[in-house]
A = this chain, B = another copy of it.
């Protein structure tokens, strides 16, 4: 299907029929003026899809949202920052449920039509007495261009708000897709303390929407790593409300191609922003492993490189230390033959047949001196490949994480 994807500002409220808003409750310990409770609402019936943390210890809102996602219809995403509502026991679950109950009451919805997310400190109960009156005020704050308020409210140690949205023309159909996200610490493949909220005004069958989101998440949020830690709260939520009109999109619909492409583009851009805003990050690195015997081999090798403390320290110092890269490939348990390994920095060959290439180290240093570069490892054992976005590791990262 002929299609065009154009970036247009607007975030989650670029999609028609969505409104958003945020308010300050006092959940955050400081920053008195910074909103810490936000909502995204569809003005019409919508279906939702989601991806949640694979951490075996899941925050209370994750458990409640997983249950509410089973409802056929979803209308609102509620999110607070400053408190993760994780490791909070039965009381935490009750509080997360109560957040959805209060939101439903304020908006005239059913409790199960509200999904809920939290991000922030672990192990502390939410100050429900502060939140209850504010949730009641949320409907009055909803704006049809309110995306940026939510993008700001969900920030914790993020330094900039993350929004990306597109208008898609596909054949005779025109629709929108918008997203916002937060990241910063604990970023790892398989979802880390990151939240992302997505909206589209295309009408969708729920099951098909979930399938599309799964594909997009695997190629975006699951490919990013800052510190190898994975949080208890990671969540990606997507609502489709059909405000763009037309037939409900089901399996086999030709618009699925352009939709998936747009969804991949939005999620990949949000994932990239999360990595770029990683704590103490000075370099953004794309790690590509190609020529692997299997997909799992490519993945293990790429993730070992992307998570190696020593590799990341070297990058921070501008050192194209390929020995540490080869070492990481070796302990990744990926199938390798040392004498076949090639390693490139931005296309400059650093390792050829498992040994130092003839490229002058000064040229390799120039590549690593850049804020962005690509490391490519060719295992020459097959055709499987995998890509991960990662960062350097700086003394500033450690400083930032010495205490909360």
Contacts and interface: CB of A to CB of B under 8 A. Distances in A.
Contact of A404 (B227, B309, B321): B321
A395 B399 contact: yes
Nearest to A308: B229
Interface stretch (A53-61, A164-172, A207-215, A237-245): A53-61
B393 A398 contact: yes
A186 B327 CA distance: 10
B319 A354 contact: no
A309 B228 contact: yes
Nearest to A310: B229
Contacts of A55: 327, 330-331
A150 interface: no
A82 to B, nearest CB: 14
Interface string A42-72: 0000000000001111100000000000000
A270 to B, nearest CB: 22
Interface string A136-161: 00000000000000000000000000
A327 B230 contact: yes
Given A329-B57, A330-B55, A229 B309 contact: yes
A185 interface: yes
Interface in A306-357: 307-310, 313-314, 316-319, 321-324, 326-336, 338-339, 341, 351, 353-356
B227 A309 contact: yes
Nearest to A402: B317
Contact of A310 (B327, B394, B401): B401
A185 B310 CA distance: 9
Interface residues of chain A: helix, strand, loop or mixed (majority)? loop
Given A227-B310, A323-B123, A87 B338 contact: yes
A86 interface: yes
A88 interface: yes
Interface residues of A, number: 68
A404 B323 CA distance: 11
A121 interface: yes
B316 A122 contact: no
Interface string A355-385: 1100000000000000000000000000000
A246 interface: no
Contact of A87 (B314, B334, B354): B354
A51 to B, nearest CB: 15
A258 to B, nearest CB: 35
Contacts of A399: 395
A247 interface: no
A89 interface: yes
A326 B122 contact: yes
B314 A402 contact: yes
A15 interface: no
Given A313-B401, A398-B316, A232 B56 contact: no
25 contacts: A54-B331, A55-B327, A56-B330, A56-B334, A56-B338, A57-B326, A57-B329, A57-B341, A87-B338, A122-B323, A123-B326, A185-B310, A227-B309, A227-B310, A228-B308, A228-B309, A230-B327, A309-B309, A313-B397, A313-B398, A313-B402, A314-B404, A316-B402, A321-B403, A397-B398
Given A55-B327, A309-B393, 13 more contacts: A57-B341, A86-B327, A87-B338, A88-B355, A89-B354, A122-B323, A227-B309, A229-B309, A229-B310, A229-B331, A232-B326, A319-B404, A398-B398
